[in-house]
Amino acid sequence: MNPLSRTLATLASAVGFHGFDDIHLAALKPGKATARDVRERLGAPTAEWPNSDGSMTWEYPRGPEGTHCWMLTLNERGALQKIEQALTEENFARIETGWSAKQVRRLLGKPAGEAEFPLRPAVVWEWRIDPAFSGNRAFFHVHFSLNGYVTATSRREESPA
């Protein structure tokens, strides 16, 4: 990595990657990039998820204000296989009542926020997502029982005040 790229990567790490994802992800070509390249560009993953085929998926959430969670899958030799955005309508629709908190975390990545409602009783995880209407802020929620299993999902969209 040349000095300018290294400086930009360090700056991106320091400011939380705002505006730098496109640059770094475009440089990481599946089939060509390695685990080392990914770490140089994006830093250490928030979580590493082993897959049944021997590959590993690295999680790069962009919350609490970002609307992306990047999942990068590397094969058993450390070669980048694919880059996926976890916070999609398809993934939201996959979540079912009875799923464990670990299953949800594996699918969507680290939530941007968590709140406990003792009178209900429930725990709600929240991710910021792309809004349906430009200028709004949108959120996807997963509701859990106190023993950590999904009871429902919901979403909300806020218009500017």
Tens digit of pLDDT for each residue in 32-55? 999 999 999 999 999 999 999 999
Average pLDDT over residues 11-28: 65
Ordered structural domains, the chain, with CATH: 3-85 (3.30.1450), 89-158 (3.30.1450.10)
Nearest to 146 by CA among 103, 110, 114, 113: 114
For the chain, the first-to-last Cα distance in angstroms comes to 45
Tens digit of pLDDT for each residue in 90-129? 999 999 999 999 999 999 999 999 999 988 899 999 999 9
Percent of the chain past pLDDT 90, that is, above it, reads 79
75: left (phi over 0), alpha (psi -120 to 50) or beta: beta
